[in-house]
Amino acid sequence: GQSLEQPSEVTAVEGAIVQINCTYQTSGFYGLSWYQQHDGGAPTFLSYNALDGLEETGRFSSFLSRSDSYGYLLLQELQMKDSASYFCAVMGDYKLSFGAGTTVTVRA
């Protein structure tokens, strides 16, 4: 089976940088995905890492270390609209297993 650990909450001010860590244990690993979900909304895809290293997409970056079973999502230049829940998810055999999510609250 799969298990994923990520912090439950993070609070930061506008303009700050937030890093959300994710550690996982899994049997069968193809990659690590990140999804964003605003309150009352549907999850939306942010990034996918299959190989070690950093992937950058605008203000958001995602990192993976397969040897450490670890990844993180980096949110830069935080904006109020970034207040949401962020989920890491392990991809295995075309299925995603999600972590419990990290609620990010951005304060003015």
Query: Which positions touch other proteins (CB under 8 A)?
Result: 4, 8, 30-31, 33, 41-45, 48, 50, 87, 89, 91, 94-101
Cβ–Cβ < 8 Å for 49, 61: no
User: Which lies closer to other proteins via its Cβ, residue 94 or residue 108?
Assistant: 94
Q: CA-to-CA distance for 24 and 70, rounded, in angstroms?
A: 6
Closer residue to other proteins (CB): 78 or 89:
89
Distance of CA 67 to the CA centre of its chain: 18
Instruction: Kindly tell me which of 17 and 22 has the beta carbon lying closer to other proteins.
Output: 22
Which is it for strands 44-49 and 95-98: parallel, antiparallel or unpaired?
Answer: unpaired
Kindly state the smallest distance separating residue 92's Cβ from other proteins, in Å: 9
